[in-house]
A = this chain, B = another copy of it.
């Protein structure tokens, strides 16, 4: 689809009516980084749209190096699809973007789901780029997918859950999205660092109902950020932090998460 002359890739699943749920993926992620159990689970009852933001995966243009710029692009994408009310669900970097969209577009956004994410200026968020780079290098040295160490706990069940997710992410064999480019990733890393170093945001400006979820051992966006969101957002609902789970907690516990997300969206 063309947004201001730039081609955006997206996928639409589920029923063709109802308030659409717009999914915002994590750092370095493309359309294929969403756990199919989560997307299909949500799409069983909701219209679900995953998309590549500007410069990400198969989407054209240059990725902005601020969360605010990414939020503006996402809003343009949503409006170009013709929607005047949506729900947004952001994971990690996607959750930063979702917060900005919710605050800046109170009429466009009905409900919000935030997973593995935190507020601007949240503790440890400016370290996410360094952790991601380190994890990637360590993964290369040990010939292991970096997601295993970055998204999952280093326990028997964490490792099992990580390997299971890696298998699920390979289930789609046709029409896969393009990998993110190095310049786009660099812009994202810069944006994340800035978000982490920003003055703490006034979360009371987000008036929508927000469901907040994460693993209790998130070493990327430390889990205390999730608790901080739940505390400071005026209309929040906290999914009890998933035990023995990290940044990928909603994937590791997809059945529980999908059930809670659907009931939140439909309540």
**A interface with B by C-beta (< 8 Å):** 28, 133-134, 136-142, 146, 179-180, 182, 185
Contact = CB atoms under 8 A, between A and B. Distances in A.
Contacts of A133: 133, 137
Contacts of A179: 141-142
Contacts of A137: 133, 136-137, 182, 185
B141 A28 contact: yes
Q: Is the interface of A mostly helix, strand, loop or mixed?
A: helix
Nearest to A136: B140
Nearest to A146: B140
Contacts of A28: 141
A142 B179 CA distance: 6
19 contacts: A28-B141, A133-B133, A133-B137, A134-B182, A136-B136, A136-B137, A136-B140, A137-B137, A137-B182, A137-B185, A138-B182, A139-B140, A140-B140, A140-B146, A141-B179, A141-B180, A141-B182, A141-B185, A142-B179
Nearest to A139: B140
A149 to B, nearest CB: 11
Contacts of A140: 136, 139-140, 146
Nearest to A147: B140
Q: Which of A141, A180, A185 has the most CB of B within 10 A?
A: A141
A139 B134 CA distance: 14
Contacts of A136: 136-137, 140
A185 B141 CA distance: 10
Pairs A-B, 7 closest by C-beta atoms: A136-B140, A141-B179, A136-B137, A142-B179, A138-B182, A141-B180, A140-B146
